[in-house]
Amino acid sequence: MMYKILETKELAANIFYMVVEAKRVAKACKPGQFVIVRTDEHSERIPLTICDYDTERGTITIVFQIVGAGTQIMSSLKAGDSFHDFVGPLGCPSEFVGEDLETLKTKKMLFVAGGVGTAPVYPQVKWLHQHGIKADVIIGAKTRDLLILEEEMKEVAGNLYVTTDDGSYGRSGMVTQTISDLVNEGKHYDVCVAIGPMIMMKFVCKLTKELDIPTIVSLNPIMVDGTGMCGACRVTVGGKVKFACVDGPEFDGHQVNFDEAMQRQQIYKTAEGRAFLKAKEGDTHHGGCGNCGN
Ligand code: NAD
Ligand code: FES
Give the ligand whose atoms come closest to the C-alpha of residue 235: 2
For position 231, what pLDDT does the model report?
A: 83
SS3 197: coil
For position 261, what pLDDT does the model report?
A: 92
Q: Is 218 in the pocket of ligand 1 (CB under 6 A)?
A: yes
Q: Is 253 in the pocket of ligand 1 (CB under 6 A)?
A: no
SS3 175: helix
Give the ligand whose atoms come closest to the C-alpha of residue 242: 2
Q: What is the Å distance from ligand 1's center to 141 Cα?
A: 8
Check residue 268 and give left, alpha or beta (phi > 0: left; psi -120 to 50: alpha): alpha
CA distance 201 to 207: 10
Q: Is 208 in the pocket of ligand 1 (CB under 6 A)?
A: no
Give the ligand whose atoms come closest to the C-alpha of residue 113: 1
CA distance 165 to 154: 20
CA distance 225 to 203: 29
Q: Is 117 in the pocket of ligand 1 (CB under 6 A)?
A: yes
Q: Is 141 in the pocket of ligand 1 (CB under 6 A)?
A: yes
For position 220, what pLDDT does the model report?
A: 85
Q: Which residues contact 6 (CB under 8 A, 6 or more apart)?
A: 19, 20, 21, 59, 79
Name all residues whose Cβ lies below 6 A of ligand 2: 223-226, 228-233, 243, 245
For position 141, what pLDDT does the model report?
A: 97
Q: Which residues contact 286 (CB under 8 A, 6 or more apart)?
A: 229, 230, 231, 234, 243, 294
CA distance 180 to 161: 13
Q: What is the Å distance from ligand 1's center to 1 Cα?
A: 34
Closest atom of ligand 1 to 204 CA is 20
Q: Is 193 in the pocket of ligand 1 (CB under 6 A)?
A: no
* pTM score: 0.93
Q: Phi first, then psi: give them for residue 145, nearest 5 degrees.
A: -65, -15
Cβ atoms within 10 Å of 41's Cβ, excluding its own: 7
Q: What is the Å distance from ligand 1's center to 197 Cα?
A: 3
Contact present, 6 and 20 (Cβ < 8 Å): yes
Which residues of the chain are modeled with pLDDT < 50?
A: none
Give the ligand whose atoms come closest to the C-alpha of residue 249: 1
CA distance 219 to 170: 27
- Using alpha carbons, list the distances in angstroms from residue 256 to 82, 91, 117, 154, 203: 37, 17, 18, 30, 12
DSSP string, 111-172: EEEEGGGHHHHHHHHHHHHHTT---EEEEEESSGGG--SHHHHHHH-SEEEEEETTSSSBEE
Class of residue 94 by CB neighbours under 10 A (exposed 0-12, middle 13-18, buried 19+): buried
